[in-house]
Structure 1
Amino acid sequence: MKLDLLLRNADIITMDDRRPHATSLGIWQGRIVGLDNELDGLDAAQVMDLDGATVTPGFIDAHCHTTWFGLGLGEVDVSAARGLDELYAMLETDMATVGTTDAEKPAGQDTKWLMATGFSQQNHDGQFPDIVALDRITGERPLFMRHNSGHMAVVNTAALRLAGALSPSFPDPDGGVIVRDSNGRPTGLVQETAQELVQQLILPYSIADIEDALDRATRLYASEGITSFTEAGVGGGWIGHSPSELAAYQRAAANGRLHARAQVMPVLDVLHALNGHGSDSSAAAPKGLDLGISTGFGNDYLSLGPTKVFLDGSLLGETAAVSHEFCSHGQKDNTGNVGYFQAEPAQLRERIEAAYAAGWSIAAHAIGDRAIDLAIDIIADCQATYGPRTVPNRIEHASMTRPDQLARLATADIAVTPQASFFREGGDGMRTSLGHDRLPWAYRAASFLEAGVTLAGSSDRPVADGNVLRGMQAFVDRRTDSGAVFGNPDERLTPRQALDIYTTGAAATTGTMNIKGSLTPGKLADFTVLSASPLDAPDIGALEVLATAVGGGFTYQATAAEFQHAALTRRSSSGGHRLMVTTEDGLPVR
């Protein structure tokens, strides 16, 4: 037997308790075949001497929005603006380029929209743009500027006019709000499902546009050590970009433009009644995709995950369904504001049960503790009636979790995906909204693990920073922009726990622990090479990703100079050896 790739002289953190550490790893036909002495006497087509660099299982982002992120890479990014004057200047600059590019116009659309991404009032002293100022800048060109939470957007009068939503008598849609001033005039802010009134004028994006977005996004993922991710909502609703979004994923994978393994969640909105045989389901109206496809369909590279359903809104937008009203702050009076559900609870239960009965696992977006109660109740009842699922049921975010809910989550075997990446930019604002008494409930981590709840590392990108190494550091220190520790300091994770949730924890949550998450013989050869170990680095976020491999094939490699710099840095303190990367012919490999 001749190996395809042999890694030598490495600090290999396997995340397998039976053999936690190794220095050599062998790969054949995309799988790990052995470690250390198990490789004695075997030749390899490619040998890499890593000179003490650290190898970990490939990082898994269990909740992100890859199409949205990839499209945003081609839009006006206003996230760096501080103060509304800077934001207005960015929009004015883009308006000055109108006519020089069609980048803002989705293929097949006649109207050239001004598309912007990354807005947060937190960067502007809590202020939202003035629609009068936006109209002055944009004129009759419609604007859609997505809030970084994804749960609201800022639009101009031209966009509202196209949507037919200017009139004071225009009704708010179920689960959404067109924010208006005291005279009934729209302010330009549209929350939750009200975004769809404008988005439907832009959508759908073409398969080609989405494929391009996936290529852009996952190339960046590879450079950050990400080998797998879960796309949290495609195909419909305000989070989807086309009814053919899965086809774009298939085309990207076939064309070599999907640079990480993908698990894709269709939103519950796109499931529909299937008129199969009467004995096929005990539910009165089984829901699914055509041909009866459901959770688990696909292969090791691209598969369907749970169906995604929104129960409530966001903490940043103060639309999450909470049991105690948000705190008033500044000029904002939150008296009586406990957020809201995206639909009536009875309706949400009916739709979720129908999907579950048809074979779907459930990923319930539930941020407020009232929404988490509803999610646990529905999922636990579904499991009792129809049995457990191979791909776990999940609660996305689980941002405000009361102490009494921890045991219920563990008993129901429901996984959770909170994001530490929110702490840095949004933590101080959330502390103000939540108040001192409830802050310990927010974005738990250690207490989930202590209660026996499966915890997955994730980013919610582009809502927050998607860099996994910085995400790990955020779980370890929980620091906000001001330097304060967000929430309960006891919720901080150890570096080992932080690495675990982005590898084995995320694999367990996505139902792929049998093939991913640890560097164990027989599993997929997905790994990340780091400049040093995250287990003892003073700042995990400062580590460099030197290489990323999916199935033993490199999706990213740093330059030879970057490899050498990392080796020199290690040698300065540990006296390692020179990096040597060769083929079977002894030639250097980049």
Structure 2
Amino acid sequence: MKLDLLLRNANIITMDGERPHASSLGIWQGMVVGLDDDVAGMDAATVLDLDGATVTPGFIDAHCHTVWFGLGLAELDVSGAHGLEELYALLEGATSGPMDADPAAPAGWLLATGFSHQQHSGTFPDIRELDRITGDRPLFMRHNSGHMAVVNTAALRLAGAHAPSYRDPDGGVIVRDASGQPTGLVQETAQTLIQALILPYSIENIETALDRATQHYASEGITSFTEAGAGGGWIGHSPVELAAYQRAAATGRLHARAQVMPVLDVLHALDGHPDDGGQSKPMGLDLGIASGFGDNMLSLGPAKVFLDGSLMGETAAVSAEYCSHGHRDNAGNVGYFQASPEQLQAKIESVYAAGWSIAAHAIGDRAVDLALEIIGTCDRKYGRHAMPNRIEHASLTRPDQLGRMAAAGIAVTPQASFFLDGGDGMAVSLGPDRLPWAYRASSFLAAGVTLAGSSDRPVANGNVLRGMQAFVDRTTSSGAVFGNPDERLTPRQALAAYTTGAARATGTESVKGSLTTGKFADFTVLSGSPLTANDIGELQVLATAVGGTFSYNTLFFLNKPLSQRPVPVPAHAS
């Protein structure tokens, strides 16, 4: 047998408990066929001597927004502004430039991404100043949480939502001042009023965004990811978004394996046999397609449903009011659900009956309660699906909820990437009494809950190595440890979150997550070991391979010592 690729003289961290380390790895037809003695003496079309470099399973980002990220790479990036004057200067520079600078943007619109009020002392732009800068040119500037946006008067008037008498949509708010005038901040589902004027993006533009985004992923060692919401709602970009994914996969412009979660809004009633849904009329996609459909490069994940909002925007549904009243400046704020619990229960149950697993966005502990209740009811009525149900973020989790999660087999995706930029602000919002419940990690594992590494990119920095280090040290921008220090993970646990844990959470652990014979040859080559590095985030990604084929490669420098190798710079560094 002649191998396609043989890696040797490597420090291979397999993440396979039965065979944790190796120095050689054989690959044939995209699969791992053996390690060390299994492949000793075998010939290969390509042999790479890695000179002691570290090889890990390919990184899996179990919750990100890839199309949003890819489109944002071509929009005005305001994430680097600190202070409103810097923000205004960036906007002024953009308005003085050509109106078609972003080819994907609708004509005349100014689209910006990466705004965070926490970088501006907790304040939001003055709509009067935005109007002065932009004039009649409509502005849509996404907040980095994704759960709110900043717009100008021109955009609100185009949407017919400027008048004080305009009624807020269910699950959203057009924030107004004491006189009833809009402040320019739109929260949650209210964003769709503006987005309806922009969407849909063309398949070609979405495909280009996927190409751009997943090339960046490859440079960071990512071989698989889950698109956490597509096709509709405020997080989707086109009703035919999956077609862009299919086209990107077919044309070689998808550089990592993709699992796509359709948002609950795009699933509709199915006219099948009366017995198909039991007590509930099933909802899904045509032909009865459900979670798991697809192939090794592109498949469907759970159905994504938003139960509440965000901690950054203080719209997440919590059981006790926020300690700082933030931009809302009103006592008694406990956030809100995206719809009534009864409506959410009915929709989710109908989807689950049609074979879809559920990925419930639940950030506040009150929303986590609702997720546990609804998923538990679905399990009892219809049985447990093969693909795990998930609670996305699970940001504020009380001690009594941990055992219920484990018993229900629910996976969670808390983002350590939030700690650096958002940790200090969230600590103020939550207060000291419940801060130990925030963004758990170690206690999830101790309770037997599957913990999946993820970034929520572009809400936060998506660099996996930095995410691992954040799980290990939980450091905020002020240098404090976010939440409970006992929630810190060991380096091996942090690596497991982005490999075996993420594979388990996405229902793919039989083929991903470890370098084991019979699994995909998805791997990442690093300049050092994440298990022993002083700072995991300082390691370099030297190469990334999907199915044994390199999606990113600097290995032609391997004849030089590590100290002499150039630092790879991604095309779109974040």
Provide TM-score, normalisation by structure 2: 0.97
Give the Cα separation in 2 of the matches to 1:568 and 1:17: 34
Counterpart among 348, 371, 387 of residue 352 in structure 1: 348
Counterpart among 235, 243, 268 of residue 247 in structure 1: 243
Equivalent residues of 1:268, 1:309 under 8 A apart = yes
Secondary structure at the aligned position of 2:197 is classed as: helix
Secondary structure at the aligned position of 1:564 is classed as: coil
Report how far residue 332 of structure 1 moved.
6.3
Counterpart among 306, 316, 319 of residue 320 in structure 1: 316
Equivalent residues of 2:423, 2:482 under 8 A apart = yes
Give the Cα separation in 2 of the matches to 1:285 and 1:196: 27
Give the Cα separation in 2 of the matches to 1:420 and 1:42: 42
How do residues 333-344 of structure 1 correspond to structure 2 at under 5 angstroms? Answer: 333-344=329-340
* Counterpart in the other structure of 2:417: 421
2:527 corresponds to 1:528:
no
Give the Cα separation in 1 of the matches to 2:33 and 2:483: 43
How do residues 468-487 of structure 1 correspond to structure 2 at under 5 angstroms? Answer: 468-487=464-483
Give the Cα separation in 1 of the matches to 2:246 and 2:502: 23
2:63 corresponds to 1:67:
no
Give the Cα separation in 2 of the matches to 1:371 and 1:554: 41
Give the Cα separation in 1 of the matches to 2:171 and 2:217: 33
In structure 2, the CA distance between the partners of 1:503 and 1:563, relative to structure 1 (3 Å rule), is farther
How do residues 188-587 of structure 1 correspond to structure 2 at under 5 angstroms? Answer: 188-328=184-324, 333-558=329-554, 560-561=556-557, 564-566=560-562
Give the Cα separation in 1 of the matches to 2:415 and 2:134: 35
Equivalent residues of 2:422, 2:476 under 8 A apart = yes
Give the Cα separation in 1 of the matches to 2:446 and 2:243: 40
* Counterpart in the other structure of 2:84: 84
Give the Cα separation in 1 of the matches to 2:123 and 2:536: 34
How do residues 30-179 of structure 1 correspond to structure 2 at under 5 angstroms? Answer: 30-99=30-99, 101-103=100-102, 105-106=104-105, 109=106, 111-179=107-175
Amino acid paired to 1:539: D
Give the Cα separation in 2 of the matches to 1:245 and 1:416: 25
In structure 2, the CA distance between the partners of 1:176 and 1:562, relative to structure 1 (3 Å rule), is farther
Deviation sequence 1:98-133 (CA, Å, 0-9, x none): 24x341553xx4x32100000000000011000000
Give the Cα separation in 1 of the matches to 2:430 and 2:226: 29
Deviation sequence 1:427-473 (CA, Å, 0-9, x none): 00001100000100000000000000000000000000100000000
Give the Cα separation in 2 of the matches to 1:399 and 1:367: 5
Equivalent residues of 1:9, 1:23 under 8 A apart = yes
In structure 2, the CA distance between the partners of 1:390 and 1:563, relative to structure 1 (3 Å rule), is farther
In structure 2, the CA distance between the partners of 1:308 and 1:69, relative to structure 1 (3 Å rule), is same
Secondary structure at the aligned position of 1:502 is classed as: helix
Return 5+ residue gaps in structure 1 as ranges: 570-590
In structure 2, the CA distance between the partners of 1:51 and 1:331, relative to structure 1 (3 Å rule), is closer
Give the Cα separation in 1 of the matches to 2:411 and 2:528: 30
Amino acid paired to 1:61: D
Equivalent residues of 1:295, 1:361 under 8 A apart = yes
Superposition RMSD on alpha carbons, in Å? 1.2
Secondary structure at the aligned position of 1:323 is classed as: coil
Secondary structure at the aligned position of 1:476 is classed as: helix
* Counterpart in the other structure of 1:16: 16
Equivalent residues of 1:211, 1:252 under 8 A apart = yes
Deviation sequence 1:243-270 (CA, Å, 0-9, x none): 0100000000000000000000000000
Secondary structure at the aligned position of 2:196 is classed as: helix
Equivalent residues of 1:266, 1:308 under 8 A apart = yes
Q: Which moved more, 1:464-473 or 1:271-280?
A: 271-280
Give the Cα separation in 2 of the matches to 1:527 and 1:334: 50
In structure 2, the CA distance between the partners of 1:534 and 1:176, relative to structure 1 (3 Å rule), is same
Equivalent residues of 1:507, 1:516 under 8 A apart = yes
Return 5+ residue gaps in structure 2 as ranges: 566-574
Q: Which moved more, 1:278-287 or 1:131-140?
A: 278-287
Provide TM-score, normalisation by structure 1: 0.94
Deviation sequence 1:524-580 (CA, Å, 0-9, x none): 0000000000000000000000000000000001264477352669xxxxxxxxxxx
Report how far residue 278 of structure 1 moved.
1.8
Secondary structure at the aligned position of 1:350 is classed as: helix
Secondary structure at the aligned position of 2:38 is classed as: helix
Secondary structure at the aligned position of 1:507 is classed as: helix
Give the Cα separation in 2 of the matches to 1:292 and 1:158: 43
Equivalent residues of 2:441, 2:471 under 8 A apart = yes
Give the Cα separation in 1 of the matches to 2:458 and 2:363: 17
Amino acid paired to 2:91: L
Give the Cα separation in 2 of the matches to 1:225 and 1:328: 38
Give the Cα separation in 1 of the matches to 2:520 and 2:541: 20
Secondary structure at the aligned position of 1:166 is classed as: coil
Give the Cα separation in 1 of the matches to 2:126 and 2:320: 30
Equivalent residues of 1:328, 1:334 under 8 A apart = no
In structure 2, the CA distance between the partners of 1:502 and 1:278, relative to structure 1 (3 Å rule), is same
Q: Percent identity?
A: 74
Secondary structure at the aligned position of 2:545 is classed as: strand
Deviation sequence 1:366-402 (CA, Å, 0-9, x none): 0000000000011011111111111100000000000
Amino acid paired to 1:95: T
Give the Cα separation in 2 of the matches to 1:123 and 1:402: 29
Give the Cα separation in 2 of the matches to 1:420 and 1:291: 38
Give the Cα separation in 1 of the matches to 2:158 and 2:562: 54
In structure 2, the CA distance between the partners of 1:155 and 1:292, relative to structure 1 (3 Å rule), is same
Deviation sequence 1:73-104 (CA, Å, 0-9, x none): 000000000000000000111111124x3415
Give the Cα separation in 2 of the matches to 1:302 and 1:116: 29
Give the Cα separation in 2 of the matches to 1:272 and 1:491: 40
In structure 2, the CA distance between the partners of 1:331 and 1:357, relative to structure 1 (3 Å rule), is closer
Give the Cα separation in 2 of the matches to 1:332 and 1:431: 17
Equivalent residues of 1:295, 1:307 under 8 A apart = yes
Give the Cα separation in 2 of the matches to 1:226 and 1:535: 18
